[in-house]
Amino acid sequence: MESTVSAPDQLAPLPATETLTPELHSDIQRIFELQQSTALRLRRSTVNERLGKLEKLKQSILNHREDIVAAAEQDFGRSGAEAEFTEMMPVLMEIADHRKHLKRWLRPKRAPLSAMMLGTRSETRYEPRGRCLIIAPWNYPVTLTLGPLVPAIACGNTVMIKTSEMAPHFSAVLVTIIRECFNEDEVAIFEGDASVAKALLDLPFDHMFFTGAPGIGKLVMAAAARHLSSVTLELGGKSPIVIDNSADLELAARTIAWGKYINNGQTCIAPDHIYVQNDIKDQFVSAISRALSEWYGEGLQAQQSQLARIINQRHTDRVVGLLENAKALGAKVVYGGAVDREDRFVSPTLLSDIPDNADIMSEEIFGPLLPIIGFNQLDEVIDQINRAPKPLALYIWSRNDSNAEKIIQNTSAGGTCVNHIAAHFLNQNLPFGGVNNSGIGSYHGEWGISAFSHERAVLKTQFFTAKIFFPPNAEKLRKPLQWVMGKL
């Protein structure tokens, strides 16, 4: 399967509307200039001052817990438990991790001396990048807005945030939280469509942090290039699962059914398609079908469950279009396949026998469709994965350690779980990010500090030795230098 990966979230820049009024454009410019002096002042802020701001953010999130749950229901039809688990817990964990480790993370790090630098002392210091931009997606609005905001604040930056207009109730809650916690000269938040994002991207930020589709990520990177701004791009792609015939099929089926259908598949690290060894393929399809039936019910029965809805009509039509295109080309629906366009509902659906030219094989699905592809030898799957753009996540289900290692060593992905789904996102001691098409840079924990800090090299002379290289001594040093170079 060779994939070009179209973005599911913003397939092309949305047409500019009247969202960006002259007044809003002027306000964006005003706040950007206002944040310049604040950014300089924050360079001198202490760790305790920054932790105090994160504590205030934490309390505001907790205070607006019911508002977050209500927004999840209004924008997605998501359950309260799912909203708390996916929207609140990751941010609160990130804040707790920073509270515990920030002093150590930001402490200057001594650098050992090199042979040429006797008489000096060196260290690396973490300094704020300055004015930062965070452009957030619609699928997990709280987690993917406030998650990167935590290290940005912890590093002493100012931030301007653009929320997604596609989740308006979530956006309203975020506006309330941000304005409750911060003055606009430190953190400002803006709502609106692509025209607002473009106005922000036209500004010379010191760092731009974008979460969303690879296609829009390219536009963000191009905008950053005009100003030589650094970027963190958290993108997506087609994240595969590989299941060999040693796997615990029952555990694999239930875990995959859980991980895929959180937010009804609208997750950047959700499994996109499954490669399963042919001699266990039918068993696996039966096992995952049982799990889906037990939890949700098949077809339109699942409409009465706690499954989320597709975010809007446009994306519903896109997901339905992928399903209909695959069926028209000969793909078989082995489970589900029910659609209620008016309710923005597509039931959990398993597909088999999908032809390579079906759109679902090249576009990121970002919905409740799950293609299942049989294979005989691991080398076939490794070749298929390596012919596609590098995924954000790659999942392996196997009790054969050598098989798992073979896949890991012969492929590239942003992150990998063996016998789990999406769990690496929840471990704050791991970097989270993509590679090439699926992203540039990473964050979470200490990696968030790296994303929002400049690692500044500082060298101080204690006693001066460089004068031995001053003319006319240099020529006399050739033989000693040759001896030293021979020992290196």
Residue 138 makes CB contacts below 8 A (sequence gap 6+) with: 9, 164, 166, 167, 170, 311
What does the pLDDT read at residue 471? Answer: 78
pLDDT band, residue 11 (cuts 50/70/90): very low
Q: 């460089």: which residue's tokens?
A: 466
Q: Tell me the residue length of the chain.
A: 488
Cα–Cα distance, 14 to 118 (Å, whole number):
58
What does the pLDDT read at residue 119? Answer: 82
Give the phi and the psi of residue 143 in degrees, each rounded to 5: -60, -45
> Could you report the per-residue pLDDT of 50-61, keeping only the tens digit for each?
999 999 999 999
> Could you report the per-residue pLDDT of 193-237, keeping only the tens digit for each?
999 999 999 999 999 999 999 999 999 999 999 999 999 999 998
Give the phi and the psi of residue 346 in degrees, each rounded to 5: -125, 125
What does the pLDDT read at residue 478? Answer: 78
- Nearest Cα neighbor of 285 from 394, 373, 381, 375 is 373
Q: Alpha helix locations (H) across 234-310?
A: 249-261, 281-295
Q: Are 22-235+445-455 and 240-433 in the same CATH fold?
A: no
The distance between the two most distant Cα atoms of the chain, rounded to a whole number of Å, is: 89
Cα–Cα distance, 363 to 153 (Å, whole number):
35
Does position 16 have pLDDT exceeding 70, yes or no?
no
What does the pLDDT read at residue 15? Answer: 43
Token pair of 226, please?
A: 């005009």
Q: 240-433: what CATH class?
A: alpha beta
Over residues 397-416, the mean pLDDT reads 98
> Could you report the per-residue pLDDT of 194-206, keeping only the tens digit for each?
999 999 999 999 9
Does position 9 have pLDDT exceeding 60, yes or no?
no
Over residues 288-305, the mean pLDDT reads 95
pLDDT band, residue 18 (cuts 50/70/90): low
Token pair of 230, please?
A: 């650094």
Q: Where are the domains of the chain?
A: 22-235+445-455, 240-433
> Could you report the per-residue pLDDT of 326-384, keeping only the tens digit for each?
999 999 999 999 999 999 999 999 999 999 999 999 999 999 999 999 999 999 999 99
Token pair of 366, please?
A: 């970002």
Residues carrying an active site annotation: 234
What does the pLDDT read at residue 474? Answer: 65
Q: Alpha helix locations (H) across 354-398?
A: 378-387
Give the global pTM.
0.93
220 CB-contact burial (10 Å; exposed 0-12 / middle 13-18 / buried 19+): buried
What rounded mean pLDDT belongs to the chain? 93
The CATH classification of domain 22-235+445-455, taken from the options 3.40.50.720, 2.60.120.10, 3.40.605.10, 1.10.3720.10:
3.40.605.10
Contact assessment for residue 388 and residue 1, using Cβ atoms and an 8 Å cutoff: yes
Does position 238 have pLDDT exceeding 90, yes or no?
yes
Over residues 410-414, the mean pLDDT reads 97
Token pair of 77, please?
A: 């039809």
Q: What percent of the chain has pLDDT over 90?
A: 88
pLDDT band, residue 421 (cuts 50/70/90): very high
